[in-house]
Amino acid sequence: MEKQMENQLGNRIAELRKEAGLTQEQLAGMLGVTYQAVSKWETGVSQTKGY
């Protein structure tokens, strides 16, 4: 169940990022994280944390 929720969240992050016309690198810069962190969130490899 937790993995499914993570995947749904990651999919939503990717969807909203693409709708905004942003790359992972641009979104990462706006949030003060690395683009690798954004990639991990989107693929469900890493949990999102309260950054």
Domain boundaries, the chain: 2-43
Residue written as tokens 């749904």? 8
pLDDT at 46: 62
| pTM of the shown model | 0.77
pLDDT greater than 90 at residue 45: no
- Is the pLDDT reported for residue 51 higher than 70? no
pLDDT of res. 4? 67
- pLDDT tens digits along 2-41: 666 668 999 999 999 999 999 999 999 999 999 999 999 9
Q: Is residue 44 within a helix (H) or strand (E), and if so which, with residue range? A: none
Q: How far is CA 25 from the centre of its chain?
A: 11
Q: Report the candidate in 2, 4, 5, 6 with the shortest Cα–Cα distance to residue 44.
A: 6
Phi first, then psi: what are they for 8, rounded to 5°?
-65, -40
Alpha-carbon distances of 21 from 4, 9, 13, rounded to whole Å: 26, 18, 12
